[in-house]
Amino acid sequence: MLGNEGPSVTVEGFDGPLEMLLQLVEEKKLDILTVRLGDLADAYLARVRALEALPAGEVASFLALASRLVLLKARSLLPALAPIANEDEGQTEEELRARLMEYAIVRERAGALGDRLRSGERAFHREGGSAVDLPPRGGEVTALAAAWSRVLALAARSREEDMVSPGERYSVEERTDEIEAIVIEHGEVTFTALLGAAPTLGWAVVTFIALLDLYRRSVVDLEQDELFTDIVIKRKVRAVPETPA
């Protein structure tokens, strides 16, 4: 089967051969029910050639579908062409079409689920418990150890998906107050000093937004001698501008 050849590939928006073929059908505004799939062989092959950056092994599944399309095209040109003896099932146009249509439905459903997720309309459960404040009791240490084992088992593999990796969440509000306090106490501070030794991206962004807010509210002045040098944040003293313009 097509599916068991090589790992998942995402290149130029193509997650796999079926998606590439479906996209061709859609782009050419063809009817999935009536399009002669063999006619798409050339266009499909051109796309596969564009995938040259891929390791050979990962192109295999794309090529498998390409060869199938070429075979379908040959058949349509030479109707007399008899099925090859060792040809396995799933090689006929109807079967490939059925797979493509099924995949189209999956993609549509995935899109509908994605829309739901993006709408943010999710439910929340209650963690339960009575309103009466009782000390926790009845914990089973074996259940706790089992939960830990389960977490470890699930965490054992490296994650490669493009999901947002968890990180600390910072509050711009809190950060603004912090920086204001530092500037009031010390008069000035550098951006590097505010970032600290090992800033995360989120931390840098929040710090920067906080600075912009302070600047907007005329709490601080920002100074930078040259491009790419450190920014100095100075407390803005009203009526007595510290920096000549």
Partner 1 sequence: MRSPLANAVEAVLFVAEKPVSRAEIAKVVGGTPKQVDAALLELAEGYSGTGLRLAHDGDDWQLVTAPEQAPAVAAYLGADRLRVSPASLETLAVIAYRQPVTRAEVEAIRGVNCDQTIYTLMQRRLIEERGRRDGPGRPILYGTTWEFLECFGLSSLDDLPRALTPEGTVPEAEAREVGGSSSP
Shortest Cβ distance from residue 31 to partner 1 (Å)? Answer: 10
Smaller CB separation from partner 1, 45 or 223: 45
* C-alpha–C-alpha distance, residues 108 and 67, integer Å: 27
User: What tokens does 21 get?
Assistant: 């073929």
Shortest Cβ distance from residue 50 to partner 1 (Å)? Answer: 18
User: What tokens does 30 get?
Assistant: 């063809």
Smaller CB separation from partner 1, 47 or 175: 175
Shortest Cβ distance from residue 222 to partner 1 (Å)? Answer: 21
* C-alpha–C-alpha distance, residues 196 and 223, integer Å: 19
Shortest Cβ distance from residue 23 to partner 1 (Å)? Answer: 13
Smaller CB separation from partner 1, 107 or 223: 107
Beta strands 188-190 and 220-223: pairing type?
Answer: unpaired
Smaller CB separation from partner 1, 127 or 185: 127
Question: Which of 84-88's residues contact partners 24+ apart within 8 Å by CB, and which partners?
Answer: none
Smaller CB separation from partner 1, 45 or 204: 204
The number of beta carbons lying within 10 Å of the beta carbon of residue 179 is: 20
Cα 80 off chain centre by: 48
Phi, psi of 232 (to 5 degrees): -100, 130
Shortest Cβ distance from residue 238 to partner 1 (Å)? Answer: 31
The amino acid at residue 168 is: E
